[in-house]
């Protein structure tokens, strides 16, 4: 057993479920009647900006009504205390990991609390609604869009993530259905580089077969147990 020094944690919507943030693909996993694959695309933003902006504006506003749960706090404790390498990669666009105190954190699918200028690529922290098309203060164009990685767009931080997976001794996946790539392929990459693999999820996921160990249950229970 390699000395356990470098850990990569991947989180998905399931880690925020107990905070009251709806998941995508669970029961009723539709968003205001939308499938995430239908509104989370550059084509949808071009074709129907109001609907796409509303989809994200409502989720951004919802952040004010939710709090980090025991799973977010446990990962933040691990981040503060773990002296080896640690990288928390989240597919989530909420800010619950940050609010729990996590520091070694990357959002690979973007963040609700950030706006991206489709014209100049400028980014800025954003709280309120982005509709109906706010001006970018860097270039003056009304081209601000949600700073979200849509389907068909390249996820953020992929090089850093791939290096961390190559060096990992342990890869832990928490609350993700394994439905979306490249995140769903991280477990195989970690295994190929000799890492141990653990899945903490409410139910078996699309990738469960790739994990050396899968524990089923709510993240709010399993993650603090694992971190201790």
Q: How far apart are the first and last CA of the chain?
A: 20
Write down how long the chain is: 228
* Partner interacting with residue 182 (select from Zn ion, ligand BV8, none; CB below 5-8 Å by kind): ligand BV8
Q: Which two tokens stand for residue 60?
A: 């951004």
Residues 25 to 44: which contact ligand BV8 by CB under 6 A?
25-26, 29, 36-37, 40
Region label for 194, one of left (φ > 0), alpha (ψ between -120 and 50) or beta (otherwise): left
Catalytic residue among 73, 97, 107, 109: 109
Q: How many residues bind ligand BV8 (CB under 6 A)?
A: 39
Residues 124 to 163: which contact ligand BV8 by CB under 6 A?
148-149, 151-155, 158
Among 46, 61, 80, 138, binds Zn ion (CB under 5 A): 138
Concerning whether 109 is annotated as a catalytic residue, the answer is: yes
Residue 166, interface with ligand BV8 (CB under 6 A)? no
Residue 122, interface with Zn ion (CB under 5 A)? yes
Q: 7-19: buried (b, 16+ CB within 10 Å) or exposed (e) per residue?
A: bbbbbbbbbbbbb
- Picking from 187, 138, 143, the residue whose alpha carbon sits closest to that of residue 165 is 187
Mode of pairing for the β-strands spanning 144-148 and 170-174? unpaired
Q: Among positive and negative, which fits the CA dihedral 28, 33, 106, 150? A: positive
Enumerate the known binding-site residues for Zn(2+): 117, 120, 136, 139
Residues 16 to 35: which contact Zn ion by CB under 5 A?
none
Residue 202, interface with ligand BV8 (CB under 6 A)? yes
Contact call for residues 89 and 10 (beta carbons, < 8 A): yes
What string of DSSP letters covers 42-84? Answer: HHHHHH-HHHHHHHHHHHHHHGGG----HHHHHHHHHHHH--S
* Partner interacting with residue 119 (select from ligand BV8, Zn ion, none; CB below 5-8 Å by kind): Zn ion
Smallest gap, in angstroms, from Cβ of residue 80 to ligand BV8?
22
Among 8, 36, 102, 117, binds Zn ion (CB under 5 A): 117
Residue 121, interface with ligand BV8 (CB under 6 A)? no
Q: Which residues bind ligand BV8 (CB under 6 A)?
A: 12-14, 17-18, 23-26, 29, 36-37, 40, 91-93, 109-110, 148-149, 151-155, 158, 175-177, 179-182, 201-203, 205, 218-219
Site residues for Zn ion per CB under 5 A: 117, 119-120, 122, 136, 138-139
């Amino acid at each position: 057993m390699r000395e356990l020094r470098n850990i990569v944690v991947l989180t998905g919507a399931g880690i925020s479920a107990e905070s009251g943030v709806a998941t995508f693909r669970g029961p009723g996993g539709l968003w205001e009647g939308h499938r995430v694959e239908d509104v989370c695309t550059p084509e949808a933003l071009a074709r129907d900006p109001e609907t796409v902006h509303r989809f994200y504006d409502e989720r951004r506003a919802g952040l004010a009504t939710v709090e980090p749960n025991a799973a977010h706090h446990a990962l933040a404790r691990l981040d503060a205390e773990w002296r080896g390498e640690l990288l928390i990669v989240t597919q989530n666009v909420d800010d619950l990991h940050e609010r729990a105190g996590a520091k070694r954190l990357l959002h690979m699918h973007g963040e609700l609390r950030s706006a991206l200028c489709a014209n100049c690529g400028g980014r800025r922290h954003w709280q309120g609604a982005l509709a109906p098309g706010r001006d970018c203060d860097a270039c003056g164009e009304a081209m601000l869009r949600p700073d979200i990685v849509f389907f068909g767009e390249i996820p953020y931080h992929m090089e850093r993530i791939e290096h961390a997976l190559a060096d990992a001794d342990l890869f832990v996946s928490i609350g993700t259905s394994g439905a979306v790539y490249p995140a769903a392929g991280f477990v195989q990459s970690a295994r190929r580089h000799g890492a141990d693999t653990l899945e903490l999820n409410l139910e078996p996921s699309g990738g469960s077969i790739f994990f050396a160990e899968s524990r089923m249950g709510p993240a709010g229970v399993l993650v603090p147990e694992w971190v201790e």
